[in-house]
Amino acid sequence: MYDSYRHKGLRANLVKTLRDKGIQNENVLLAIGAIPRHLFLDRAFEEWAYKDVAFPIGNEQTISQPYTVAYQSQLLEVKPKDKILEIGTGSGYQACVLSLLKAKVYSIERQEDLFLKTSRFLPEIGFGAIRTLYGDGYEGYPKFAPFDKILITASCQFFPKKLLQQLKIGGIMVVPKGNVKEQTMYRITKRSETEFSQEAFDKFAFVPFLKGVVSAEKMPI
């Protein structure tokens, strides 16, 4: 794996930036300090890997900004062995952070070619324990439900009902909800089969949570 002292130095600076911006969870910071984010971008764009910005990864999708990844991971209050469902695998970076927090990670992606690419890539960098799934995140993943935590990494206009159903009692869902341009980060806690409490946090801008799947052969060339 190509990870130089220069990359490690840039990563340490990124961790410092996140700390300065208010991320306090040491395990989250350690995870970000350990994951070679430059490997998630095309080699030509490596310079961007350790700046605190989102970046295009193809298929009109992005690898989330490190601050956003840290923020969501922190709100999720991950404990070792937590069973977590992530919606929107994308590059797989967020899933790696959760995996280093010792969670059992399931991650769903609706775009088949992105799913295939990331599913091949994660074992190559030592994250073969992450279970990647191809499907529509609105459906969740009943086969592996219920989950301790659910993390949505695309913007929602409403709290997806089937995902709330697939949370354990006492479980937490972190989800950006709002309009196309701007969303508020929410943390929902499932109190009973029918009762949920919600807390609202800062504003973010995510790519949309879309219905259905896109199969690889239907992608425009």
Residues that bind ligand SAH (CB under 6 A): 61-64, 87-88, 90-91, 93-94, 108-111, 114, 136-138, 153-154, 207, 209-210
Q: Which of 4, 64, 73, 155 is catalytic?
A: 64
Does residue 202 contact residue 184 with C-beta atoms inside 8 Å?
Answer: yes
Strands 147-152 and 83-87: parallel
Report the nearest approach of ligand SAH to the CB of residue 63 (Å).
Answer: 4
Specify whether 91 is catalytic: no
Report the nearest approach of ligand SAH to the CB of residue 197 (Å).
Answer: 25
Angle value at C-alpha 111, between 213 and 34, nearest 5 degrees: 140
Nearer to ligand SAH, 190 or 209 (CB): 209
Nearer to ligand SAH, 87 or 122 (CB): 87
Nearer to ligand SAH, 90 or 171 (CB): 90
Does residue 98 contact residue 200 with C-beta atoms inside 8 Å?
Answer: no
Nearer to ligand SAH, 120 or 191 (CB): 120
- Reference 18, options 67, 76, 77, 75; nearest CA is 67
Report the nearest approach of ligand SAH to the CB of residue 196 (Å).
Answer: 21
Nearer to ligand SAH, 39 or 108 (CB): 108
* Burial zone of 30 (CB within 10 Å; 0-12 exposed, 13-18 middle, 19+ buried): middle
Q: How far is it, in rounded angstroms, from Cα 65 to Cα 133?
A: 23
Q: Which residue is nearest to ligand SAH (CB)?
A: 88
CA-based R_g, the chain, Å: 16
Report the nearest approach of ligand SAH to the CB of residue 188 (Å).
Answer: 18
Side chain identity, residue 198: Q
- Reference 172, options 99, 82, 110, 90; nearest CA is 82
Q: How far is it, in rounded angstroms, from Cα 60 to Cα 65?
A: 15
Report the nearest approach of ligand SAH to the CB of residue 87 (Å).
Answer: 5
Residues recognised as catalytic:
64
